[in-house]
Each structure stands twice: as structure tokens, then as C-alpha cells.
Amino acid sequence: MNLSSVAIGQYMPGESLVHRLDPRTKIMLSLVVVVALFIVKSAWAYAALGALIIGTVMASRVPLKMVLRGLRPLLFVMVLTFGLHLFMDPGEPIFRIGKIVATDKGLAQGLITVARLSLLIMATSTVTLTTSPIAFTDGLESLLKPLSFVGVPAHELAMMMTIALRFIPTLLEETDKIMKAQMARGADFETGNIAKRARAMIPILVPLFVSAFRRADELAMAMEARCYRGGQGRTRLRQLRLGTLDMAALALVIAYAVTVVAVL
């Protein structure tokens, strides 16, 4: 097993208009679309919002396949909810399997729920596929900053995300090293039932945790040595700037979403 091949995030670098949008614009717009998805009820509205999302994906030149891949982990949930709606909702029967009756209203409701879930994931995936994790973190910090007056630790959250992103590859590398060291001494991670394999992970997790704590300790010292004392009075190398492109995108998408909610 080669752990270094694990992809972090799913950012697809590019130069399209969507890529060039300010991360705050993208986060806000995905929120607008998500809210709209929860308000609308008609099939036409879902089609309109779906067209908006797919249009954005096209404009970003990210293969649609990558966006659809995000749906895979939720496939089971979608099939389950669809099935539950189809067979459990009251309505006119369409067909029956033994004693279980599928209804027309169930079918409609099931389709709507599946559409809502898929579009939700596609909208958020579009953001993460076109925004680098660093830009995303910056955007989130900037958006949450007004909330820090009510106690939302905006800077701390962003710093935690940055450090996590920074250390995921390092810790994966270390896990790989520890596993190889244990395998060289005869440890077996590949055979046996789940319980046995889980037990085999203990000799990996213990040194990994010990080392992670040591790293955290050293990192804290190094950060303090470089005058880190929280978000107060901190400046940033990269400044986020809302350009005309962002204004245009915000105006257009919000107008579109409002129209869809109001009309359809």
C-alpha cells in the first residue's frame, strides 16, 4: 500500500473564470444555491438549478465526471431514501411487490429528494474542485471574521485547517514508514477478520499518536519563536479582493436563484 498517493482535497488547478473567482464569492454562491435547493419544490425548479450547476461546471472546464464522483459515497443513502419514499409514502398505488406498495406520490417525493441531495453535493463539490485548499481556508476565515464578535474563533479555525492540511502528508508518510517497520518485523495487516486487522493497527496508531503529539509540541514552540500570538494584529501576504468578475457572478447567480425560487 502506498499512502503517499492519497490525494488531499480534490482541487483541480485551472485558469477558468470559475477558478479565478474570489473564494468568498464561491462559498457564498454555493450557500445561496443550497438554500434555494431546500426551498423549491417543483421539478422545473430542480431542473433550473441543476442547469445552473452543470453550466458552472462546464465553465470551470473541470470534467463533469469529477463532480459526479463526489456522489458515489452517498449512493447508498440515496437509494435507501428513494426506496423509503417510494414504498412508504401514502398515495395511489403504481405497482406492488408482495405486500409492499409503491405509490405515485412516493415516486415523486423520492425523485425530488434524490435530486436535492445530488445537486447539493454537486454544488459544494464545484467549489472544492475549483478552489485550492489555501484559498478556501482564507475565504472561510474572511467570511467568519464578522462572527468573531459573537465568539466564533474564525482565525483559530483557519489556522487549524492550515496546519491540518500541512501535516496530513507528513503524517501519511510517517504511517507508511511505521507500517513498513512493523511489516519488516513480521506484522500482518492484510489477513484475518476485521477484529484481527483492527488489532493489528494498534502498533501503528500508538507510535503515530506519540509522534503527532511531539510534533505538535515542537510546532507550537517554533510558532511562538516566530512571534505567533493569535489572530490579533496579524496581516496576510495574500489579500482577497472582490473584483468586477465577483460582483457580476454574485449579482447574476443570486438573481437567477431568486427568480427560480419565486417563479417555479
Q: Which grid coordinates belong to 96?
A: 406492488
70's CB contacts (< 8 A; 6+ apart) are: 10, 121, 122, 124, 125
Q: Which grid coordinates belong to 11?
A: 482541487
Q: What is the dihedral angle through the alpha carbons of 61, 66, 68, 70, rounded to the nearest 10 degrees?
A: -130
> For residues 47 and 119, what is the distance between their CA atoms, to the nearest angstrom?
10
CB of 174 to other proteins, least distance (A): 9
CB of 113 to other proteins, least distance (A): 37
Alpha-helical regions (H) of 15-103 = 17-20, 23-39, 43-60, 64-69, 75-88
Nearer of residues 168 and 201 to other proteins, judged by Cβ = 168
Nearer of residues 235 and 244 to other proteins, judged by Cβ = 235
> Chain centroid to CA 31: how far?
13
CB of 227 to other proteins, least distance (A): 4
Nearer of residues 65 and 236 to other proteins, judged by Cβ = 236
52's CB contacts (< 8 A; 6+ apart) are: 33, 253, 256, 257, 260
CB of 103 to other proteins, least distance (A): 51
**Site residues (vs other proteins, CB under 8 A):** 133-134, 162-163, 165-166, 169-170, 173, 214-215, 218-219, 221-229, 233-239
Nearer of residues 194 and 227 to other proteins, judged by Cβ = 227
Nearer of residues 65 and 229 to other proteins, judged by Cβ = 229
E-only strand ranges, the chain: 93-97, 100-103
CB atoms within 10 A of CB 225: 8
Nearer of residues 99 and 238 to other proteins, judged by Cβ = 238
80's CB contacts (< 8 A; 6+ apart) are: none
Nearer of residues 20 and 234 to other proteins, judged by Cβ = 234
170's CB contacts (< 8 A; 6+ apart) are: 215
CB of 170 to other proteins, least distance (A): 6
CB of 5 to other proteins, least distance (A): 13
CB of 7 to other proteins, least distance (A): 13
